[in-house]
Structure 1
Amino acid sequence: MKIASSSRLLTLIACLAMMQPLWAQAHTEASAHGTLLVVNQADHNVSFLPASSGAASAVDVGGITGHELALTPDGRTAFIPIYGNSGVGKPGTDGQTMTVVSVPSHKVIGSVDFGHPVRPHCAIFDKKRNLLYVTTELDKAITVIDPKSLKIVGTIPTGQEQSHMLTISHDGRFGYTANVGPGTVSVLDLNTRKTVKIIPISAQTQRISISADDRKVFTADQTKPQLAVIDTATNTLQSWIPLPEIAYGTAPTPDGHWLLAALRPTNQVAVIDLKTMKVTTTIDVPKTPTEILIRPDGKAAYVSCGGKVAVIDLATWKVQSILQAGAGADGLAWAQ
């Protein structure tokens, strides 16, 4: 009887071990209640990709191209700056509007006109002040918008050309822009709406993100495979993180342990340990990885790749699934 009981116990243990990955997968899927929004440059629309159930859909945002988007904290309203049909610093159309979309109804509900061509690009919501910041490259500034009235209420000069991307500190005190052509980062005081400092980085830099503790800002050198690490206490270039290839978009995990970086030349995502400042692994993804969004629960990362979005499991560092978006998938946002 003891031998039989032991045998049954071992069998039960083996079954439980086999089922554990299934439980973990089910838990991950169950926690992903929300919708991923994707801006598709070439299709001039925004895709709505439900995480659990429901059909995907798309909303047209105008005849010229939007690149990025921002959501109100309640996830009900999306703002898509209409940049134009060119790359940063290149000739082409100059956008001067921003489209406003209702997330629940998937319909355009308004717009913001900047009054003149400004190439609006990156929108960031300031939860502390209930304001929307939008990079307006041709004005060398950040434009401040009241998201309720859709009125322009101020500007913050960056002092540089091509202020393309923006990140803000979690305490709402400072903003940081990646100025592509000049290869610099502008530090902005969001209280006084003034430029604090301009930090030289490289001949060209792209994208920007901030650590979970607001102590470091990261931007990608476009001339060498390395990330610049800025110390926000001193607003100086502190160090470099060597990479396998030149990076583009970056995103830190909420726990502050990891930083993910899109490596476009090799179609990979690099995983950086922020304790050692070294790459620990790389993950193969579809072509042209551009932007990385970490889901608020910290369990998955979404990477826009051409017309697809790679979903990376942050527990296993493996691609969990590939979502179909639109042509030129770029900016990402998560609506809970």
Structure 2
Amino acid sequence: MRKTWILLLPLCVNMALGQGGLLLVANKGDQAVAIIDPKTGKSIAAVPEGGETAHELVASPDGRVAYAPIYGNSGVGKPGTDGRNMVVVDLKTHKVTGNVDFGKGIRPHCPVIGPKNGLLYVTTELDNTITVIDPKSLKIVGTVPTGQAESHMLAISRDGKRGYTANVGPGTVSVLDLDAKKTVKIIPISRNTQRIALSVDDKLVFTSDQTAPRLAVIDAATNTIKSWVDLPAPGYGTAPTPDGKYLVVAVSKANKVAVVDLGTMKVTKTIDVPAAPQEVLVRPDGKVAYVSCDSSKKVAAIRTSDWSVEQMIEAGKGADGLAWAGR
């Protein structure tokens, strides 16, 4: 019986991909990548990363592997270990099949696939850079300076030309020219800022002020703050819906998710979720927003048609980064 179950696991993965994709969760406390069937909300596998520990992850465009930078055992700007590598997880065999060694402790954190060139961009905090990796050879092919410390999260425009980092401790956003590999501008936000996202038309950039209950809205054409959105409490992770109408915001300290109408720039709905919501991932079809809830070991699946929680998914200890594998 045990051998039969092991043989069936890859089949389960292929079936889930055929039905629309897999939900991936970086479980910091378990030091593992959880692979979840979103149809059933059940875990298919939890793959040990072999390091302490990945906070974020991203899937390859073909949905076959996930890239998980090993950040370390601390939070941004806090004392602890300094991760120096990134692992590659095969989503069919549930094994670590590749590794990128950055050569020194560098706290690699947020990975993003370049939408045009297919290269992998990873925030490397202690070097104040974005490191560029060829995902085929797993070789480092370049770096982009951010000009700031604690460049924690990264968003890339859909034409692949611009990058934006949320620089936590400095409370700034760096605007990057990814082709020229240079910093274009540094935008002051507050004394501390977290997470970053782009509107679907790339005209607006969003980042959460950690010192006040508000969200900064940056005009990407002028690289200046255009407006602020009032929130119930300081926000955290954000993600837009594919139709461009809404921005979903994790409001960590209030244990809520706020829905911002991007037409009026006002919160039109709040949803109660388990403790410490962190990251938001809106499914490619736009029907569900997934929100990782760190201290509860759960991911809330929120139906976007009526903004109600349709499912609570058991993830793992310290559920944080989210990714979608497949279409």
TM range (shorter): over 0.9
Which amino acid is 1:304 matched to? S
| 3-state SS, counterpart of residue 214 of structure 1 | coil
8 Å contact kept, 1:36–1:335:
yes
| 3-state SS, counterpart of residue 247 of structure 1 | coil
Q: Deviations over 1:10-68 (max 9, x none)?
A: xxxxxxxxxxxxxxxxxxx9x96321010000110011111225752100002311100
Q: Please give the residue correspondences for 1:215-234 in structure 2 after superposition, counting only pairs within 5 Å.
A: 215-234=203-222
The whole-number CA distance in structure 2 between the counterparts of 1:151 and 1:122 is 17
Q: Does 1:210 align with 2:185?
A: no
The whole-number CA distance in structure 2 between the counterparts of 1:238 and 1:164 is 23
How much does 1:301 deviate? 0.6
- Percent identity, aligned pairs only, is 63
Q: Deviations over 1:83-142 (max 9, x none)?
A: 000110011000000010111221110100000110000000002011000000000000
Q: Which 5+ residue runs of structure 2 have no aligned equivalent?
A: 1-15
Q: 1:52 aligns with which of 36, 39, 62?
A: 39
Q: Deviations over 1:115-170 (max 9, x none)?
A: 01100000000020110000000000000000000000000000000000000001
8 Å contact kept, 1:159–1:195:
yes
Bigger Cα Rg: 1
Q: Does 1:327 align with 2:312?
A: no
The whole-number CA distance in structure 2 between the counterparts of 1:36 and 1:46 is 10
Q: Does 1:42 align with 2:29?
A: yes
Q: Does 1:160 align with 2:148?
A: yes
Q: Does 1:142 align with 2:130?
A: yes
Q: Deviations over 1:218-276 (max 9, x none)?
A: 00000000000000001111111111111000000011000010011111000000000
Q: Please give the residue correspondences for 1:5-84 in structure 2 after superposition, counting only pairs within 5 Å.
A: 33-52=20-39, 56-84=44-72
8 Å contact kept, 2:26–2:322:
yes
8 Å contact kept, 1:125–1:131:
yes
Q: Please give the residue correspondences for 1:68-107 in structure 2 after superposition, counting only pairs within 5 Å.
A: 68-107=56-95
Which amino acid is 1:335 matched to? A
Q: Does 1:308 align with 2:310?
A: no
Partner of 1:3 in structure 2?
none
| 3-state SS, counterpart of residue 290 of structure 2 | strand
The whole-number CA distance in structure 2 between the counterparts of 1:175 and 1:271 is 25
Partner of 1:186 in structure 2?
174
8 Å contact kept, 1:210–1:218:
yes
TM-score (norm 2): 0.92
Higher mean displacement: 101-110 or 146-155? 101-110
The whole-number CA distance in structure 1 between the counterparts of 2:51 and 2:45 is 18
8 Å contact kept, 2:43–2:314:
no
The whole-number CA distance in structure 1 between the counterparts of 2:249 and 2:101 is 33
| 3-state SS, counterpart of residue 196 of structure 2 | strand
Partner of 2:236 in structure 1?
248
| 3-state SS, counterpart of residue 229 of structure 2 | strand
TM-score (norm 1): 0.90
The whole-number CA distance in structure 2 between the counterparts of 1:266 and 1:194 is 37
Number of aligned pairs? 308
Partner of 1:116 in structure 2?
104
How much does 1:294 deviate? 0.3
The whole-number CA distance in structure 1 between the counterparts of 2:132 and 2:263 is 35
The whole-number CA distance in structure 1 between the counterparts of 2:73 and 2:179 is 33
Report the CA distance shift for 1:32/1:244 in structure 2 as closer, same or farther (over 3 A).
Answer: farther
Q: 1:261 aligns with which of 236, 243, 249?
A: 249
Q: Which 5+ residue runs of structure 1 have no aligned equivalent?
A: 1-28
| 3-state SS, counterpart of residue 265 of structure 1 | helix
